[in-house]
């Protein structure tokens, strides 16, 4: 009985002291989701690898909640660039680990003179879950071709960056896609 009473008293003391010991900020840090890492492959778009590398680097520099790595040679990628004779287009994300989304790097826009890096980062914006924002100014990445053929801005604006951060704010969420949406 004496032991039980002591244990009870100790427990009561601990219960009182726990909120003082565990700072709320420390708890918040422990539960924050880790950044999502996705992979891309450019082996089927060999003529555009320089532009793709540059476009991916821009996204990696601008966002924190998702990071994009080039897949190991022969490995399975979450997003794959493919050379295509038509107009550039992509399967809408946000891409998650285990996905297999495609970006068709369309030669039609290349032949028309559109900036290759802008094409790459615009289409990858779709992979990150951004819809088109057409028509729009050159300062908007997702305005795509409506930014003008002379537009060489390949960097997302503040709104576009914030939208991607929101798409990945919850960390890794396995996709259960009912259907694939292709956007231009």
- Residue positions annotated with a catalytic role: 123
Closest distance of CB 65 from Zn ion, Å: 21
Binding window for Zn ion (CB under 5 A); candidates: 51-59, 112-120, 128-136, 147-155: 128-136
Binding window for Zn ion (CB under 5 A); candidates: 11-19, 140-148, 155-163, 170-178: 140-148
Q: Convert 59-98 into a string of H (helix), E (strand) and C (coil).
A: HHHHCCCEEEEECCCCCCCCEEEEEECCCCEEECCCCCCC
Site membership for Zn ion, residue 132 (CB under 5 A): yes
Strands (DSSP E) found in the chain: 36-44, 66-70, 79-84, 89-91, 101-106, 182-183
β-pairing verdict for 36-44 and 66-70: parallel
The answer to whether residues 104 and 90 touch, using CB atoms and an 8 Å cutoff, is: yes
Binding window for Zn ion (CB under 5 A); candidates: 6-14, 30-38, 95-103, 129-137: 129-137
CB nearer Zn ion, residue 6 or residue 108: 108
Closest distance of CB 87 from Zn ion, Å: 10
Instruction: List the one residue from 144, 145, 157, 164 that touches Zn ion (CB under 5 A).
Output: 144
Can you give the binding site for Zn ion, defined by CB under 5 A?
132, 144, 184
């Amino acid at each position: 009985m004496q032991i039980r009473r002591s244990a009870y008293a100790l427990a009561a003391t601990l219960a009182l002291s726990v909120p003082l010991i565990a700072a709320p900020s420390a708890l918040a840090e422990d539960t924050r989701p880790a950044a999502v890492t996705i992979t891309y492959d450019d082996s089927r778009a060999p003529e555009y690898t320089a532009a793709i590398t540059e476009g991916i680097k821009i996204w990696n520099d601008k966002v924190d909640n998702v990071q994009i790595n080039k897949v190991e040679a022969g490995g399975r990628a979450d997003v794959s660039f493919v050379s295509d004779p038509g107009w550039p287009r992509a399967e809408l994300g946000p891409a998650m680990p285990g996905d297999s989304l495609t970006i068709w790097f369309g030669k039609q826009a290349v032949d028309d003179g559109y900036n290759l890096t802008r094409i790459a980062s615009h289409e990858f914006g779709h992979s990150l879950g951004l819809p088109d924002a057409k028509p729009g100014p050159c300062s908007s990445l997702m305005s795509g071709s409506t930014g003008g053929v002379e537009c060489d801005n390949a960097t997302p604006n503040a709104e576009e960056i914030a939208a991607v951060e929101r798409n990945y704010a919850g960390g890794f969420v396995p996709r259960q896609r009912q259907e694939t949406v292709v956007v231009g």
